[in-house]
Structure 1
Amino acid sequence: MTLATALPGETVQITMNPVTEPFWEAAKDKRLVAPQCSQCGTFRLPPTPYCPECQSTEVTWTELSGEAEVYSFAVVHGFPGLPDVTLVPVVVDLPDAPGARLISNIIDIDPDDVTIGMKLRVDFHPITDGWMLPVFRAASN
């Protein structure tokens, strides 16, 4: 059995701008956050400079519990230059940020055990330049 993993940290680089910086700074502290419109309360991931509902530029960064649920996933056997890597890219629903979805990876699980609706918990994987990448693991029962 081959367990799903994240890409080796040194192969992952992020690009940051003022709109996304609070997300990455929180991840560096092992916290998962989502931008929430200060005017209408809409959550938005990925972060955008304005609210898609009311177009406000005012935002509050809300700390989330780290709980998630599989909305969609794929299984990738091999990656360019890393033929033995098995990845499970996932789109997750975040119950404490209604309407927001995050794209990430599920790690340390047999890909055959991943199902739509599966409960997950956030974890953080070190990547280049001291940053942390939010990834997910199956939630403990």
Structure 2
Amino acid sequence: MADDGSAQGAIWPLTKFYFTVNLGSQDSTASFQEVSGLETETQVVEYRHGDSKTFSTIKMPGIAKAGNVTLKKGVFVKDNNFWKWYDSIKMNTIKRETVVIQLLDQTGAPTMTWTLTNAWPTKITATDLKSDASEVAVETLELAHEGLTIANG
């Protein structure tokens, strides 16, 4: 008999294939194949004051920055919402949205939530075309944002 971990009360790592993405007022919840770039980092500031008895610097936290988030999804007939959103930045009228990405458990309940504040599209890549391939057409949307927050449960 296979051990599912329930007898010992084991906690298993989360799987990453069941998730939702809500693009604010753009498209409510959209289906994506892949989400990447959910990262943030803090720059390091090195400092040494003049009367320090040690001849080395100390490291302090500096400015926090977040990378762009990349979303990949299949191309559907008459679905050009991303292109409309991207066109809105051409006239310097950027429409910023709150984007919510949720990792779901087997029942569909959110286990982790990433929230992108004031997100807007910086790049859209259309699918590549090949006459000898039988693959799904996938387009890529890259979002810049002003902050990433993470919540559990």
Q: Which has the higher contact order (CA 8 A, sep 6+)?
A: 1
TM-score surpassing 0.5? Answer: no
Q: What TM-score comes out, normalization by structure 2 length?
A: 0.25
Structure ranking higher in strand proportion: 2
Q: What TM-score comes out, normalization by structure 1 length?
A: 0.27
Structure ranking higher in helix proportion: 1
**Larger Rg, first or second structure (1 or 2):** 2
